[in-house]
Amino acid sequence: MKINLDLGMDIEGFENEIVYEDVEKYVIDVLNKEYESDKEVYVSILLTGNEEIQRVNRDFRGKDMPTDVISFAYHDNEEADNGLYDSLGDIIISLERVEEQRKDYGHSFKREFYYVLTHGLLHLMGYDHIEEEDKKIMRAKEEEILEGYGYTREIK
């Protein structure tokens, strides 16, 4: 499977925390292991700050507050299917929120970042956590993927 990844990075202040090639390799590897498609797969990821993610959260979800990750899954939108790509969707991550949460949870920045990235990817693949049973399935899959890369809950 070929992955077409559009990774935008507005990462002022986080240059030492994020390595483009590592993020790209992780996303491609996870999708190759967890997602089947007979087409080229397209995913868009934007790494930004609280101000931008709050604007998106307000404009598209009606919630006027920053959040860690927002996913827009295209599998829910028949118009997104152009026949050429399997367009999974968009992921937006606030690196400022990741930093805040890593402190709250006692994780390394890297662990918290890859947690929210994995969470966003799973949403694009159809996982959800609205119902309690679905939440258990999604959380188990998140932990399975993260543990496979050594991103455990322990403080790094």
Domain boundaries, the chain: 3-148
pLDDT at position 80 is 53
Tokens of 121: 């990817």
* Per-residue pLDDT reduced to its tens digit, 23-47: 999 999 999 999 998 888 889 999 9
pLDDT tier for residue 72 given thresholds of 50, 70 and 90: very high
Q: How many angstroms separate the Cα of 121 from the Cα of each of 22, 104, 106, 154? A: 15, 23, 23, 22
Q: Report the pLDDT averaged over residues 107-125.
A: 96
Is residue 113 pLDDT above 90, yes or no?
yes
Q: What is the model's pTM?
A: 0.90
50: number of Cβ within 10 Å: 18
- Could you identify the residue written with the tokens 């929120």? 97
pLDDT at position 156 is 43
* Contact (CB, 8 A) for 75 and 88: yes
Residue bearing the bigger pLDDT, 148 or 75: 148
Q: What is the mean pLDDT of the chain?
A: 88
Is residue 77 pLDDT above 70, yes or no?
no
- CATH assignment, 3-148: 3.40.390.30
Q: What are the two backbone dihedrals, phi and then psi, of residue 43, each rounded to the nearest 5 degrees?
A: -135, 135
Ranges of beta strands (E only) in 11-136 are 40-48, 69-73, 85-94
In 3D, which of 71, 85, 91 has the Cα closest to residue 9?
A: 91
* Integer Cα distance of 47 and 8 in angstroms: 6
Sheet containing strand 40-48, strands side by side: 3-9, 40-48, 85-94, 69-73
Q: How many angstroms separate the Cα of 101 from the Cα of each of 14, 74, 84? A: 15, 27, 38
Residue bearing the bigger pLDDT, 56 or 42: 56
pLDDT at position 117 is 97
Which amino acid is residue 19, in one-letter code?
V
